[in-house]
Amino acid sequence: MPRKGGPVQKRSLPHVKKVIAVASGKGGVGKSTVAVNLAFSLAMHAEHAPRQRPRVGVLDLDIFGPSIPKLMALENVDEPQLTEAGAIVPVVNHGLPCMSMGFLLPKAPGTDSSADTPVVWRGLMVQKAVQQLLFDVDWRDMEGGSELDVLVIDMPPGTGDVPLTLGQLVNVDGAVIVSTPQDVALTDVRKGVSMFQKVSVPIVGLLLNESHFICPSCATPHELFGSPAAFRATAARFGVDVLGELPLVPGVSRGGDRGVPYALYSTDSTDGTSDPGGKEWKDTMASVANKVWQFLSR
């Protein structure tokens, strides 16, 4: 039914200049890993001088399966502090502020982590939690008071309540949609693109994850999950850009398990870009960050 007062007016998030949503139609495509690494790549963007680096934050809106605490090595942190006005103060690691439902859940008995604590809520509770994470977090630097230049939002998979709430309430500057080459993933990508278009969220482009694997013995790319042709055809069908095609690199998974995003590995690291395809992965992610900056600067 239409509201008596008219449609809900979108608004900007407090102390945030630009908002980028990282979404996927299907779970398990590496969306959260991409979101975290994209945030660091944006923060380290080459066109910005070190002293003028932008402030970038990450917001985990996956209420039922938050991944940011694990990916940022923040599984055992205490509950976030509150400002004098009652706003939630983000948790910081690797110099990046972040917020997640995982930080607000009670810890499982006998453990120092809330990773095993389930969220068993109905829709209204989820929407209330999403609105609190969106509008009740103070993203300002506690020392200098500077705002966030960009907030990267890690969306839950699918086209349910959370993406709809975000699209209807918040001025989202762009969305990056992550997929893998399989048709079953691309089917849900098409639904995700259509959803963002319906709620008037601009789509920055599509990003293909796990596009190919480079064999260490033969240096030949192997398309383990199928040809990227269908992915490229999907982007062309909707008239959106292909931001990049990330190779399958073992170090990305290892870094996520350790809570050290792969984008932070140095180029001469024996545990980082020495992986087959590691340099290509980092170069591609840096290119994606550059394209996102260009999109936000329009």
Closest C-alpha to 77, from 90, 86, 64, 60: 90
Query: Which CATH entry fits the domain spanning 22-296: 3.40.50.1460, 3.40.50.300, 3.30.450.40, 3.20.20.140?
Result: 3.40.50.300
What tokens were used for 150?
């960009």
**pLDDT of amino acid 287:** 96
**pLDDT of amino acid 217:** 79
- Domain residue limits, the chain: 22-296
**pLDDT of amino acid 23:** 94
d(CA 94, CA 280): 23
- The pLDDT profile of the chain, 298 residues, written as one tens digit per residue, is 455 556 678 999 999 999 999 999 888 899 999 999 999 999 997 566 566 789 999 999 999 989 999 999 999 898 999 999 999 999 999 999 999 999 998 887 777 777 778 888 888 898 999 999 999 999 998 877 899 999 999 999 887 889 889 999 999 999 999 999 999 899 999 999 999 998 899 999 999 999 999 888 777 888 888 899 999 999 999 999 999 999 999 999 999 999 999 999 875 555 544 677 899 999 999 999 999 999 999 8
What tokens were used for 174?
């762009």
CA distance between the termini of the chain: 36
HSE-up of 44 (CA within 13 Å, CB side)?
A: 21
**pLDDT of amino acid 181:** 93
Backbone angles phi, psi at 248, to 5 degrees: -85, 115
d(CA 49, CA 36): 21
d(CA 197, CA 207): 17
| pTM higher than the cut 0.85 | yes
**pLDDT of amino acid 50:** 60
**pLDDT of amino acid 216:** 80
d(CA 73, CA 283): 24
Q: What does each C-alpha distance from 219 to 64, 95, 189 come to in angstroms?
A: 40, 35, 30
**pLDDT of amino acid 59:** 98
